[in-house]
């Protein structure tokens, strides 16, 4: 049995999550629960920002016909085939393919399948992945359309090579955790005073890497970047994020004006579809020491392949709910490794931190074996609605210990935030 719910949080009331393109987000999820005949549960979700969540819910319902009736064993014994079944249905692929609503729905469904799989093995997902035979891992990936950049054999070689030193890295992660940066201090809608307060608190809590939203107004950006740089000092790390606000030429001009604040990267300078545009921006900003980061709206492995082929990004920002779940993220992690580009996941939203921490742990332990220029986004919102919320210690993600993919939400949170019938929304009417 598969059920799906439209769950929304009224975050727009306080400008949490506001950026240059999404000025009033109500952080939301299409929330999937799979129940097997044996009474086991798998929980999955995809993140949205309010209106339109009902469309993703509708897409999950359409995909559910391809899932219900299959056993977990049947699915994971040919996960590549099952992935292809969902993404290449002879009729539904027309409304994608592998992009937008239908890909978000695919992610929600497959995240629930992976959660179920990890629970059935009694392991947190990162551990399931880390301990899985490399051949089995490879068999979960659909290599269609990427073999010109990464063959199955090359992928296997990467995984086999990274077996060396694996246990050491597991131990290191269990002890230190994975480095994180914070986006919680400087949403676009926040006042300078709030920004200062949050920044002070974050520094006290041990944070050393900070992201600032930019792109709406240049003078405003200069003031905010200057303020943050003053607050954090010259040695901490600053990143800026424009959320697709600019055209190519404009991006170069604008970021050049902010170069004196020494941002490590400019994130999403322009359309997420514009590979060649990002390549042009990368080339123009390289002499200033500023990299380009993108990925949270990069919709599939074919796009990431080209971003890598064209040297159009210097930081790969995978997203646990935009790509086709773990399966497609594995493909992107392996390609990024081959092209020697660090992965710095997108997180935040609802549950994105909970999910993506598993993927980046796997990346370090079983793929990249490096922490150079690597860190995972953290946003301190809405974790209280999860059964196994992220644990951050000294600005590091501590590896989750509960079995599964950390997707399960509290039943009470789901009930009260259902849209439009939940109590939270009724109270707002």
User: In whole angstroms, how close is the CB of 45 to a second copy at the nearest point?
Assistant: 14
Write the DSSP string, 321-354.
Answer: TTSSHHHHHHHHHHHHHHTT--B-----TTTHHH
Please state at what angle helix 325-338 crosses helix 352-362, rounded to 10 degrees.
50
- Does residue 55 bind a second copy (CB under 8 A)? yes
Element (H, E) at 127: helix 125-131
The span from the CA of 6 to the CA of 58, in Å, is 10
> Phi first, then psi: what are they for 33, rounded to 5°?
-125, 125
Choice between 208 and 282, CB closer to a second copy: 282
Assigned token pair, 119: 């629970």
Choice between 316 and 395, CB closer to a second copy: 316
User: In whole angstroms, how close is the CB of 416 to a second copy at the nearest point?
Assistant: 20
421 burial type by CB count under 10 A (0-12 exposed, 13-18 middle, 19+ buried) = exposed
Q: One symbol per residue from 372 to 411: x for binding a second copy (CB under 8 A), - otherwise; what is it?
A: ----------------------------------------
User: In whole angstroms, how close is the CB of 56 to a second copy at the nearest point?
Assistant: 6
Element (H, E) at 391: strand 391-393
- Torsion from C-alpha of 102, 73, 36, 327, nearest 10 degrees: -30
Q: What angle do CA 233, 239, 241 make, to 5 degrees?
A: 140
User: In whole angstroms, how close is the CB of 100 to a second copy at the nearest point?
Assistant: 2
Would you call 346 a catalytic residue per the annotation? yes
The span from the CA of 215 to the CA of 213, in Å, is 7
- Does residue 236 bind a second copy (CB under 8 A)? no
# binding residues, a second copy (CB under 8 A):
61
- Does residue 133 bind a second copy (CB under 8 A)? no
Per CB under 8 A, the list member of 13, 35, 68, 93 interacting with a second copy is 93
User: In whole angstroms, how close is the CB of 187 to a second copy at the nearest point?
Assistant: 14
Choice between 48 and 182, CB closer to a second copy: 48
Nearest to 278 by CA among 288, 266, 296, 289: 266
Nearest to 98 by CA among 283, 304, 265, 388: 304
Q: Which position among 16, 127, 211, 213 bears the catalytic label?
A: 213
DSSP state at residue 30: E
- Does residue 216 bind a second copy (CB under 8 A)? no
Per CB under 8 A, the list member of 4, 16, 43, 96 interacting with a second copy is 96
Assigned token pair, 52: 């339109």
Assigned token pair, 347: 């997180």
User: In whole angstroms, how close is the CB of 48 to a second copy at the nearest point?
Assistant: 6
> Which part of the chain contacts a second copy (CB under 8 A), choosing from 44-52, 110-118, 161-169, 335-343?
44-52
Q: Which position among 99, 209, 346, 358 bears the catalytic label?
A: 346
In the region spanning residues 71 to 90, those forming contacts with a second copy, defined by CB under 8 A, are 88-90
> Phi first, then psi: what are they for 267, rounded to 5°?
-100, 140
- Does residue 49 bind a second copy (CB under 8 A)? yes
User: In whole angstroms, how close is the CB of 238 to a second copy at the nearest point?
Assistant: 26
Would you call 385 a catalytic residue per the annotation? no
Element (H, E) at 306: helix 301-309
User: 274: helix, coil or strand?
Assistant: coil
DSSP state at residue 288: G
In the region spanning residues 251 to 310, those forming contacts with a second copy, defined by CB under 8 A, are 270-277, 280, 297, 299-300, 302-303, 305-306, 309-310
User: 404: helix, coil or strand?
Assistant: strand
> Which part of the chain contacts a second copy (CB under 8 A), choosing from 92-100, 176-184, 226-234, 358-366?
92-100
Per CB under 8 A, the list member of 41, 80, 84, 144 interacting with a second copy is 144
Choice between 21 and 391, CB closer to a second copy: 21
Active site residues: 213, 346
* Residues making contact with a second copy (CB under 8 A): 21-26, 48-52, 54-56, 58-59, 62, 88-104, 144-148, 244, 247-249, 270-277, 280, 297, 299-300, 302-303, 305-306, 309-310
């Amino acid at each position: 049995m598969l059920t799906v719910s439209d769950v929304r949080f009224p975050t727009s009331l306080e400008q949490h999550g506001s950026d240059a393109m999404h000025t009033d987000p109500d952080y939301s999820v299409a929330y999937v629960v799979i129940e097997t005949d044996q009474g086991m549960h798998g929980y999955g979700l995809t993140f949205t920002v309010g209106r339109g969540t009902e469309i993703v819910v509708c897409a999950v319902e359409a995909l559910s016909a391809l899932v219900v009736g299959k056993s977990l064993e049947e699915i994971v014994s040919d996960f590549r085939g099952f992935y292809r079944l969902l993404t290449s249905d002879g009729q539904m692929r027309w409304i994608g393919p592998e992009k937008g609503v239908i890909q978000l729905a695919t992610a929600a469904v497959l995240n629930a399948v992976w959660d179920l799989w990890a629970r059935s093995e009694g392991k947190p997902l990162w551990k399931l992945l880390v301990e899985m035979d490399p051949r089995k891992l490879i068999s979960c990936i659909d290599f269609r359309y990427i073999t010109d950049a990464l063959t199955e054999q090359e992928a296997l070689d990467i995984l086999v090579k990274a077996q060396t030193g694996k246990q050491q890295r597991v131990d290191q992660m269990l002890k230190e955790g994975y480095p994180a940066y914070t986006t919680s201090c400087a949403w676009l809608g926040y006042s300078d005073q709030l920004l200062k307060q949050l920044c002070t608190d974050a520094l006290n809590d041990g944070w050393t890497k900070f992201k600032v939203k930019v792109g709406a107004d240049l003078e405003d950006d200069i003031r905010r970047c200057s303020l943050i740089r003053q607050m954090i000092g010259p040695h901490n790390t600053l990143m800026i994020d424009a959320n697709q606000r600019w055209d190519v030429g404009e991006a170069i001009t604008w970021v050049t004006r902010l170069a004196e604040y020494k941002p490590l990267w400019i994130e999403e300078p322009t359309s997420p579809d514009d590979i060649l545009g990002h390549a042009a921006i990368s080339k123009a900003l390289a002499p200033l020491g500023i990299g380009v980061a993108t990925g949270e709206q990069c919709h599939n492995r074919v796009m990431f392949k080209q971003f890598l082929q064209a040297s159009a990004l210097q930081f790969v920002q995978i997203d646990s709910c935009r790509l086709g779940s773990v399966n497609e993220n594995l493909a992107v992690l392996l390609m990024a490794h081959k092209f020697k580009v660090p992965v710095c996941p997108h997180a935040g939203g609802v549950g994105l931190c909970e999910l993506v921490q598993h993927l980046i742990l796997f990346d370090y332990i079983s793929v990249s074996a490096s922490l150079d220029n690597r860190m995972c986004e953290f946003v301190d919102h809405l974790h209280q609605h999860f059964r196994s919320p992220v644990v951050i210690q000294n600005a590091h993600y501590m590896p989750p210990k509960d079995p599964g993919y950390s997707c399960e939400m509290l039943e009470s949170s789901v009930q009260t935030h259902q849209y439009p019938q939940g109590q939270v929304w009724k109270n707002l009417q």
